[in-house]
Amino acid sequence: MAAAVANGLKKEQTRPNKCAVISGPTNPMVTPLLTDLYQFTMAYSYWKAGKHDERAVFDLYFRKNPFGGEYTIFAGLEECIKFIAHFKLTEDEIAFIRSSLPPTCEGAFYGYLRGINCSDVEIYSIPEGSVVFPKVPLMRIEGPIAVVQLLETAFVNLINYASLVTTNAARHRFVAGKSKLLLEFGLRRAQGPDGGISASKYCYMGGFDATSNVAAGKLFGIPLRGTHSHAFVSSFLSPDEITDKSLKHHDGSSVCKDFVSLVKTWLNKLKGSRILGGIFSETNQSELAAFTSYGLAFPGSFLALVDTYDVMRSGVPNFCAVALALNDLGYRAVGIRLDSGDLAYQSCEARKFFQTIEKEFGVSGFGKMSITASNDLNEETLDALNKQGHEVDSFGIGTHLVTCYAQPSLGVVFKLVEINNQPRIKLSEDVTKVSIPCKKRCFRLYGKEGYPLVDIMAGENEPPPKIKNEKTYLPLRRLGNDVLNNWSKCGRIT
Ligand SMILES: Nc1ncnc2c1ncn2[C@@H]1O[C@H](COP(=O)(O)OP(=O)(O)OP(=O)(O)O)[C@@H](O)[C@H]1O
Ligand SMILES: O=P(O)(O)OC[C@H]1O[C@H](OP(=O)(O)OP(=O)(O)O)[C@H](O)[C@@H]1O
Ligand SMILES: O=C(O)c1cccnc1
Ligand SMILES: [Mg+2]
pLDDT (tens, 9 = 90+) of the chain, 494 residues, equals: 223 333 345 555 444 444 457 899 999 999 999 999 999 999 999 999 999 999 999 999 999 999 999 999 999 999 999 999 999 999 999 999 999 999 999 999 999 999 999 999 999 999 999 999 999 999 999 999 999 999 999 999 999 999 999 999 999 999 999 999 999 999 999 999 999 999 999 999 999 999 999 999 999 999 999 999 999 999 999 999 999 999 999 999 999 999 999 999 999 999 999 999 999 999 999 999 999 999 999 999 999 999 999 999 999 999 999 999 999 999 999 999 999 999 999 999 999 999 999 999 999 999 999 999 999 999 999 999 999 999 999 999 999 999 999 999 999 999 999 999 999 998 888 988 998 999 998 888 877 777 788 888 888 888 877 766 554 444 444 444 333 332 233 334 44
Q: For each of the domains in the chain, give its residue range(s) and CATH number, in order of start.
A: 37-176+408-485 (3.20.140.10), 227-375 (3.20.20)
Which residue's alpha carbon is at the smallest distance from atom 13 of ligand 2?
188
Please answer whether residues 175 and 206 qualify as being in contact, where contact means their C-beta atoms are separated by less than 8 angstroms: no
In angstroms, what is the span from residue 333 Cα to ligand 4's centroid? 24
Query: Which residues make Cβ contacts (< 8 Å) with residue 463, sequence separation at least 6?
Result: none
Give CA–CA dist 304/233, Å, rounded: 9
Most informative mutation of 340, 382, 395, 400 for ligand 1 (most atoms within 8 A of CB): 340
397 lines ligand 2 (CB under 6 A): yes
Comparing CA positions, the residue from 271, 394, 249, 373 lying closest to residue 321 is: 271
Most informative mutation of 233, 375, 378, 394 for ligand 2 (most atoms within 8 A of CB): 375
Q: What pLDDT, on a 0 to 100 scale, did the predictor assign at position 468? A: 61
Output DSSP code: residue 475: P
Question: How many Cα atoms sit within 13 Å of 342 on the Cβ side?
Answer: 9
Burial zone of 379 (CB within 10 Å; 0-12 exposed, 13-18 middle, 19+ buried):
buried
398 lines ligand 2 (CB under 6 A): yes
Please answer whether residues 12 and 123 qualify as being in contact, where contact means their C-beta atoms are separated by less than 8 angstroms: yes
Q: What pLDDT, on a 0 to 100 scale, did the predictor assign at position 458? A: 87
Q: What pLDDT, on a 0 to 100 scale, did the predictor assign at position 22? A: 85
| DSSP letters for 159-194 | HHHHHHHHHHHHHHHHHH-TTSEEEE--GGGSSHHH
Give CA–CA dist 276/265, Å, rounded: 15
Q: What pLDDT, on a 0 to 100 scale, did the predictor assign at position 278? A: 95
Comparing CA positions, the residue from 348, 408, 444 lying closest to residue 161 is: 408
* Predicted ipTM beyond 0.95: yes
Tell me the residue length of the chain: 494
Comparing CA positions, the residue from 424, 435, 420 lying closest to residue 51 is: 420
Distance linking the first and last C-alpha atoms of the chain: 26
In angstroms, what is the span from residue 343 Cα to ligand 4's centroid? 13
Please answer whether residues 125 and 479 qualify as being in contact, where contact means their C-beta atoms are separated by less than 8 angstroms: no
b/e code 25-53 from CB counts within 10 Å (16+ = b): bbbeebbbbebeeebbebbbebbeeebbe
Q: What pLDDT, on a 0 to 100 scale, did the predictor assign at position 108? A: 98
Which residue's alpha carbon is at the smallest distance from atom 23 of ligand 1?
340
Please answer whether residues 480 and 5 qualify as being in contact, where contact means their C-beta atoms are separated by less than 8 angstroms: yes
Protein residues placing their CB within 5 Å of the ion ligand 4: 375
Q: Which helix (H) or strand (E) holds 445?
A: strand 440-446
